[in-house]
Amino acid sequence: MKIIIIGCGKVGAALAMTLTKEDHDITVIDTDRNAVNFTASRADVIGVEGNGVSVTVQQEAGIDKADVVIASTGSDEVNLLCCLIARKSNRKVKTIARVRNPIYLDEVSFFKEELGLTRVINPERAAAREIARLLRFPSAMKIDTLSGGMVELLKFKIIHESPIKDKRVMDIAQSIHTEVLICAIERDNDVIIPDGSTTLLEGDRVSFIASPQNAAAFFHAIKIDTHSVKDTLIIGGGRVGFYLAQRLLNVGIDVKIIEKDRKRCSELDELLKGATIINGDGTEETVVMEEGIEHAESVVALTNIDEENILLSLFAKKHNEKAKVITKVNRMMFDSIVEEIEIGTIIHTMSIVADNVAAAVRAMQNSMGRSRVESLVNILGGKAEALEFVIREPSEATNKPLQQMKLKKNLLVACIMRKKEIIYPRGGDEIKVGDKVVIVTAHQGLNDITDILLGSGGKES
């Protein structure tokens, strides 16, 4: 597909890097020549210097032949205008706008209907949603929802005391009578798509698929605490902090926010009834100690500086080992460092947005096909993926027992949603029209359900 990305900031650059890996024809636009050149060279895409609102600039970028336009500048209004102009220039183009301001939340349906927007992305709100899920299951390192929340993909770490350490996957399934499926193991810098004989080792980061109820039962069975936190200390009252506090207050979790900007504190005090707002510098030891970091059940570091968030999380872990600590990091370069020092769960806002947009683009690409990608979750920086396909027509992958299919290696049919039933498939199960199917794979760029078959979608690797 031909995709135009307007805005070469952190989000735009992350999108360019993600989408170019899927063999799309990408052109980026920005008024900053250095940003254009940097993104174009790093992602190996075409760069156009200019204002994305300009019809002439969009024409130079090839709007007449574009399939998708993604507006990701720092201004919501500019993004909406870019998409409107794109639609006026090419009625067939799909448009995605980055819209961050909370005042526009109730107007998304209007934007879609009247401006022809295909999708609105809000990085901060998406990050807050993921953090809120993690505070519901504090022992999980990561939680992603699939099929509208019917099933979840959860990740946790095998510790020394774990009752499933050094056990094979098949033995775990037999001893723990809960419907879950272990579908991926991150070991060092590799991803393993396990079979029954795979053994779980200390330090492994294990992903499994289950319904929310079965996920809680599985954690309980392997002696992992499943209780939601009762309170949280949020350091940083920006947009992520605001969206997160809203969600937590709605489910009865006590919220305290430390924010150093006095004007922002006044705004939060008006917007978040029930939250405790503290005007202070959350990076100062005396402030966080006075506000109870030693006793908080969860601490979320949400300042705008990655290094501050990492240091805050280190401090929280030092003084409160039992707390669930979550750290917002924008730059992926800190991943390996953070894993070594174990400061808690890392939230990458850019990665969340890139995953959401990549799934949307695949859905657009396959909208006329037999099946389409509904959701996409990256595992270990994109070394593996969990994809949810909606099966709309018969194909070589339907109405045939899985044991009779020649599936690619490093690929697992993780679960099938059939109406309200969740099926963890065995060899005799079949994929049928109307199903939603979750595939976990180390292969990149699966677009259709038939791509799971050996000989489809490129050579076997």
DSSP calls for 252-318 = T-EEEEEES-HHHHHHHHHH-TT-EEEES-TTSHHHHHHTTTTT-SEEEE--S-HHHHHHHHHHHHH
Task: Please report, rounded to a whole number, the percentage of residues in the chain having pLDDT higher than 90.
Answer: 62
**CB-based contact 457:34 (threshold 8 Å):** no
- One domain for residues 131 and 112: no
pLDDT surpassing 70 at residue 295: yes
Tokens 């709007």, residue?
A: 63
- One domain for residues 206 and 246: no
The pLDDT tens digits of the residues spanning 247-266 come to: 999 999 999 999 999 999 99
> Which of 347, 366, 392 finishes a domain?
347
- One domain for residues 295 and 381: no
Do the domain assignments include residue 270? Answer: yes
- One domain for residues 112 and 27: yes
Do the domain assignments include residue 25? Answer: yes
pLDDT surpassing 50 at residue 458: no
Distance from C-alpha of 202 to C-alpha of 183, rounded to nearest angstrom: 17
What was the pLDDT predicted at 209? 93
- For residue 413, the Cα-to-chain-centroid distance in whole angstroms is 20
- One domain for residues 167 and 244: no
Tell me how many domains the chain contains: 4
Do the domain assignments include residue 174? Answer: yes
What was the pLDDT predicted at 135? 93
Instruction: Tally Cβ neighbours within 10 Å of residue 390.
Output: 20
Mean pLDDT of 219-223: 89
Distance from C-alpha of 38 to C-alpha of 8, rounded to nearest angstrom: 9
Query: How far is CA 454 from each of CA 19, 289, 431, rounded to the nearest angstrom?
Result: 24, 58, 16
- One domain for residues 383 and 448: yes
Among 220, 139, 138, 134, CA closest to 180 = 220
Pairing of strands 324-328, 345-347: parallel
What was the pLDDT predicted at 336? 60
pLDDT surpassing 70 at residue 192: yes
Q: Output the pTM of the full model.
A: 0.80
Distance from C-alpha of 72 to C-alpha of 275, rounded to nearest angstrom: 31
Distance from C-alpha of 138 to C-alpha of 229, rounded to nearest angstrom: 7
Among 270, 265, 275, CA closest to 238 = 265
Distance from C-alpha of 436 to C-alpha of 151, rounded to nearest angstrom: 11
pLDDT band of residue 174 (cuts 50, 70, 90) is confident
Mean pLDDT of 328-345: 70
Non-local (6+) Cβ contacts of 284 within 8 A are: none
Tokens 């959701």, residue?
A: 375
> Which of 221, 255, 270 finishes a domain?
221
Do the domain assignments include residue 459? Answer: no
pLDDT surpassing 90 at residue 292: yes
The pLDDT tens digits of the residues spanning 264-286 come to: 999 999 999 999 999 999 999 99
Q: What is the CATH number of the domain that holds 214?
A: 3.30.70.1450
> Which of 121, 152, 182 finishes a domain?
121
**CB-based contact 218:178 (threshold 8 Å):** yes
- One domain for residues 291 and 336: yes
Dump the DSSP string for 193-216: ---TTPBP-TT-EEEEEE-HHHHH
pLDDT surpassing 60 at residue 208: yes
Instruction: Tally Cβ neighbours within 10 Å of residue 276.
Output: 14
Least confident of 51-55, 197-201, 224-228, 413-417: 224-228
Do the domain assignments include residue 12? Answer: yes
Do the domain assignments include residue 362? Answer: yes
Distance from C-alpha of 457 to C-alpha of 461, rounded to nearest angstrom: 11
Distance from C-alpha of 161 to C-alpha of 401, rounded to nearest angstrom: 39
Distance from C-alpha of 291 to C-alpha of 151, rounded to nearest angstrom: 37
Do the domain assignments include residue 151? Answer: yes
What was the pLDDT predicted at 337? 64
Query: How far is CA 300 from each of CA 3, 73, 238, 295, 388, rounded to the nearest angstrom?
Result: 35, 27, 12, 14, 30
- One domain for residues 295 and 391: no
pLDDT band of residue 146 (cuts 50, 70, 90) is confident
Do the domain assignments include residue 103? Answer: yes
- One domain for residues 73 and 106: yes
The pLDDT tens digits of the residues spanning 382-435 come to: 788 899 999 988 999 999 999 999 999 999 999 999 988 999 999 999 999 999
Mean pLDDT of 194-220: 92
Range of the domain at 146: 127-221
- One domain for residues 340 and 357: no
Kind plus residue range of the DSSP H or E element containing 156: strand 151-157
- One domain for residues 373 and 423: yes
- One domain for residues 393 and 439: yes
Distance from C-alpha of 95 to C-alpha of 92, rounded to nearest angstrom: 10
Q: What is the CATH number of the domain that holds 116?
A: 3.40.50.720
Distance from C-alpha of 245 to C-alpha of 204, rounded to nearest angstrom: 32
Distance from C-alpha of 151 to C-alpha of 364, rounded to nearest angstrom: 23
Mean pLDDT of 132-152: 87
